[in-house]
Amino acid sequence: MSGPLLVINAGSSSLKFETFDVADGTPRRVLRGQIERLASAAPHFVAHDAGGVITDRVLGAGEDPEAMLLAWLGEHGGGAPCAVGHRVVHGGVRHTGPALVDDALLTELDALSPLAPLHQPHNLEPIRRLRAQAPDLPQVACFDTSFHRGHPEVADRFALPEALFAQGVRRYGFHGLSYAWIAARFAEMAPSLAAGRVIAAHLGSGCSACAMIGGRSVDSTMGFTALEGLVMGTRPGQLDAGVVLYLMQQGMDAAAIEHLLYHESGLKGLSGISGDVRDLLADGGARARLALDVFVYRAAGAFATLAAAMGGVDAVIFTAGIGENSPDIRAAIAARCAWLGFSLDAARNAAHGPLISATGSKVAGYVIPTDEEATIARETLSVLAAR
List the catalytic residues.
144
Residue ranges of E strands in 59-206: 83-88, 99-100, 139-143, 197-203
Rounded distance, CA 204 to CA 202, Å? 6
Q: How many helices (H) and strands (E) does the chain have?
A: 16, 13
Torsion angle of C-alpha atoms 203, 11, 239, 160, degrees rounded to 10: -110
If DSSP codes are grouped into helix, strand and coil, which group holds residue 34? strand
Pairing of the two strands 364-367 and 99-100: unpaired
C-alpha gyration radius of the chain: 21
Rounded distance, CA 179 to CA 250, Å? 39
Residues 168 and 92: beta-carbon distance below 8 Å? yes
Rounded distance, CA 301 to CA 307, Å? 10
List the Cα angle 307/223/160 in 5-degree steps: 105
Residue ranges of E strands in 185-256: 197-203, 207-213, 216-220
Rounded distance, CA 139 to CA 274, Å? 37
Residues 49 and 31: beta-carbon distance below 8 Å? yes
Rounded distance, CA 244 to CA 272, Å? 21
Instruction: Enumerate the H helices of 26-88 as residue ranges.
Output: 65-76
Strand order in the sheet with 5-10: 52-58, 44-49, 28-36, 15-21, 5-10, 83-88, 139-143, 99-100
Q: What are 90's strand-pairing partners?
A: none
- Amino acid identity of residue 60, one-letter, is G
Residues 70 and 81: beta-carbon distance below 8 Å? yes
If DSSP codes are grouped into helix, strand and coil, which group holds residue 214? coil
